[in-house]
Amino acid sequence: MKINLVVDYGLHASSLTLITQKIFLELGKLMNKQKSFTVAATMHSGAGIGDVNQHYDCISIPNMGGYNFPPNATTSSKNLFIGIVGIDEVVLGRKVFRSNKDWKRYKPIIETEVKKWKKHVEKINRVHTSTISDKQQIIDYLKVPEEKIDVIPYGVDHDIFKPAEDKIKATKKVCSKFYLKKTPYFVHISESNWARKNTIRLFEAFKKARSAGIPHNLIVIGRNHQLIHKKAQEISGIIMCGYVKEKDMIEIIQGADALLLPSIHEGFGLPLVEAMSCGVPSITSDVFSPPEIMKDAGLFADPYSVSDISEKIIKFAKNKKLQEDLSKHALERSQYFSWAKTAEKLLKLFQKNTENELDNDFDADYDSAAYRTLVTVCQIHPHLKNQTRQDLLEMNYAKIINWAVTVGLEDGYVKDYLIPLTKWLEEHYK
């Protein structure tokens, strides 16, 4: 079976990109181990309909973060698998948009796309989503038949996201980096779409909690709108650190007492799982996916109630025993999630629901998968030289290998896409 994993959909959204990378990596490991299928990463912006039908037995878009119906290049395949991360725009409408202006612009687009789902859903073989909550929303709003939907949770990298060896030292290190007094702190991970993340209500709740005497600061990670920065300046104890590298983000999470994420909607909530894997509980919302993801590893508040969010923050901050218990539960709960499990479940889904599985020569298919993945890597990196792209298109393997080994494997972003192909590289590089 030849699997085509689409990697360009939602490329610029960090969580969506991470989902694709991790699934591709784990499927690649399974490919090398089982030798019963191949998986190639491709961009559908450059793939024609005929190309899709000719080379693949199934097509997977694992990270559709929204309401858009799949690109036209994919709808001709009878074995099309769609992973939907969340449809908050459809479910909540104006509430997840920053302004009336944004909502007026996107409302007709959303309505058009929803009509496509209702009209053309039969073109999709299976839909998978990460939570039961999302499954019900897909049924209710996109009118996808329940029998077509599978729940496959996303994962977390436990080798990267893990508890600090010394919690006190970890906290002190972060405080020192941001020139803070050696006090405990919370962390909030936000984004440009602060409306969905409920950042303004969180800030007001934190302000009330500080007035009630809690000693904590609040470190905010992520690229945020200038309005959020202005609001933060009005409240003592909020530190806006903007975009940070993954290593720094992990250190901040490890040193935090809790993650504050009272979003009005979360599809899966990768930050929740990543924090749990570090032994850090969350104060999050009591609607949609967080209660399903967290279980007893956090506290839940009404995301529309500043008072309720504040009360939960105060309750947590003033109860050391509660903090310890929730931290223990968080670490235990995190073991339920792994990218390896996600990939294994997806592969079983593909194998069970692919009609035209073929018995082809594995080595030849593997070479083809390697070639197509390298082409994709070049396409998603416009800074790569045109000559390199041309070498790839002409299947000049000598130059392909030289580029992959000398350039690709040194690029942290590209590396994830090349890891599944290391055996191929080793064999051809000799």
Query: pLDDT (tens digit, 9 = 90+) per residue, 240-259?
Result: 988 888 899 999 999 999 99
For the full predicted model, state whether its pTM sits above 0.95. no
Residues whose CB is less than 8 angstroms from the CB of residue 70 and which lie 6 or more positions away in sequence, other chains included: 61, 64, 80, 82, 124
- pLDDT value for 388: 64
Asked if 259 and 275 touch (Cβ cutoff 8 Å), the reply is yes
- pLDDT value for 49: 45
- pLDDT value for 69: 86
- Residue 370 pLDDT class (50, 70, 90 cuts): confident
Residue 335 has pLDDT above 80, yes or no: yes
Instruction: Retrieve residue 306's tokens.
Output: 């500043």
Q: Which of 369, 294, 305 is nearest to 336 (CA)?
A: 294
pLDDT by residue (tens digit) across 131-180? 999 999 999 999 999 999 999 999 999 999 999 999 999 999 999 988 88
Lowest mean pLDDT among 32-46, 100-114, 126-140, 284-298: 32-46
Residue 354 has pLDDT above 60, yes or no: yes
- Residue 48 pLDDT class (50, 70, 90 cuts): very low
Going along the chain from its start, the domains and CATH numbers come out as 2-155+339-360 (3.40.50.2000), 167-334 (3.40.50.2000)
- pLDDT value for 144: 94
Rounded average pLDDT over 197-218: 95
- pLDDT value for 401: 67
pLDDT by residue (tens digit) across 340-353? 999 999 999 999 98
> CA-to-CA distance for 200 and 204, rounded, in angstroms?
6
User: Across the chain, what does the average pLDDT equal?
Assistant: 86
Asked if 59 and 79 touch (Cβ cutoff 8 Å), the reply is yes
Q: Which of 116, 5, 122, 129 is nearest to 65 (CA)?
A: 129
Helices (DSSP H) in 88-131: which residue ranges?
88-92, 100-120
> How many helices (H) does the chain have, and how many strands (E)?
20, 12
Residue 377 has pLDDT above 80, yes or no: no
Element (H, E) at 174: helix 167-177
- pLDDT value for 429: 61
Residue 86 has pLDDT above 60, yes or no: yes
- pLDDT value for 26: 92
Residue 390 has pLDDT above 80, yes or no: no
- Residue 193 pLDDT class (50, 70, 90 cuts): confident
What is the DSSP secondary structure assignment for residue 287, as one 8-state letter?
S
- pLDDT value for 16: 80
Residue 64 has pLDDT above 60, yes or no: yes
Q: How far apart are the first and last CA of the chain?
A: 28
